[in-house]
Amino acid sequence: MKWKLEADIMQFEDLLTEQRNHRSMHIDRESTLEMVATINREDHRVARAVQKQLPQIAAAIDAAFPLFDEGGRLIYVGAGTSGRLGVIDATELQPTYGLTADQTFGLIAGGQSALTETVQSAEDSVELAHEDMAAVHLTDKDVVIASAASGQTPYTLAALRFAQDEGAIGVGFSCIEGSPLAELADYPITPVVGPEIITGATLLKAGTAEKMVLNMLSTGIMIKSGKVYQNLMINVVPTNGKTFERAKKIIAEATQTSTLAAERALDRAGNNVPLAIVLIETKGTIAEAKELLAATNGHVSQAVKLSDSRH
């Protein structure tokens, strides 16, 4: 392991995320329109910084999705803003892609109360990180996504190292090149967004960069894991009138058929949207559609392709 918890920590005032931004030195004297234009110009830099990390993001996705396919979990770890954004990403994945809270979740320094209030000193606690990670019983199929704008938050570093010691792979998001987190992670992702518009306010550009990166990571893993067909969310579970209508619409659009045909297929498939799509696309029986999905680990695109190859 290259990184040691007791060493390699940069001086706080030397961190790029804590430097003053010369482009916003007079933002307090700008008109409101000038102020938001300044903020917007800085936000453009975020997208460019993330773009430079696309190969690293793709590598992390390619490493993560086979593990997720095999029953591994996506576990987000962080403190403060970084931790909250991880919890949000994990939480939103559940209804969007039909996941359970056991398949993806976020751990934040200080626990659930830290989502809405500051928990003093939690981000500095190595012991708390060990307790939180031990409680989730990590396996070598788990993927831990650790985020810290500075790349050196003790809680986050300790959590990631604990996870790796248990065999999990570690993805590390930070905004500082060569940070302890970047050195520790198996798959470091480091968009360098530069000094913040308001000095040290990493909820701004660093937070935006993290949201963009987490969106790419989780969306990519879901697509590669078969949770998307074409560009449609196919793991919606019809539980009420609204979601039933949404499921019918998804099936109809995916298969270029009528909503009536989609409704009939959904009924035959027992309200299973992927099964209904395969049923229509392959023009087979329920048993054949189930066998195709089982053979392709639930990947609708692969199931349809496999059916075509058999005919």
pLDDT in tens, 106-130: 999 999 999 988 887 899 999 999 9
Total domains, the chain: 2
Count of alpha carbons within 13 angstroms of residue 158, beta-carbon side: 22
Q: Taking the model in full, what pTM does it have?
A: 0.89
Which residue of the set 92, 166, 183, 291 is catalytic?
92
Contacts of 8 (CB under 8 A, 6+ apart): 180, 183
Burial track 218-238 (b if 16+ CB lie within 10 A, e otherwise): bbbbbbbbbbbbeebbbbbeb
d(CA 161, CA 91): 24
pLDDT for 237 equals: 80
Q: What is the pLDDT of residue 13?
A: 58
Q: Do 192 and 53 reside in the same domain of the chain?
A: yes
The verdict on residue 292 lying in a domain is: yes
* 210 and 233 part of one domain: no
Domain CATH for 63: 3.40.50.10490
Residues 16 and 155 in one domain: yes
Domain span at 64: 12-224
Are 45 and 105 in the same domain? yes
Catalytic residue status for 92: yes
Task: Let me know if 123 is a catalytic residue.
Answer: yes
Residues in the chain where the model's pLDDT stays below 50: 1-7
Give the pLDDT of residue 21.
81
Q: Is residue 4 part of a domain?
A: no
What's residue 31's pLDDT? 97
The three state secondary structure string of the chain is: CCCCCCCCCCCHHHCHHHCCCHHHCCHHHCCHHHHHHHHHHHHHHHHHHHHCCHHHHHHHHHHHHHHHHCCCCEEEEECHHHHHHHHHHHHHHHHHHCCCCCCEEEEECCCHHHHCCCCCCHHHCHHHHHHHHHHCCCCCCCEEEEECCCCCCHHHHHHHHHHHHCCCEEEEECCCCCCHHHHHCCEEECCCCCCCCCCCCCCCHHHHHHHHHHHHHHHHHHHHCCCEECCEECCCCCCCHHHHHHHHHHHHHHHCCCHHHHHHHHHHCCCCHHHHHHHHHHCCCHHHHHHHHHHCCCCHHHHHHHHHHHC
- On whether both 196 and 251 belong to a single domain, the answer is no
287 φψ region: left (φ > 0), alpha (ψ -120 to 50), beta (else): alpha
Asked whether residue 5 is domain-assigned, the answer is no
- Candidates 18, 42, 123, 281; catalytic one: 123
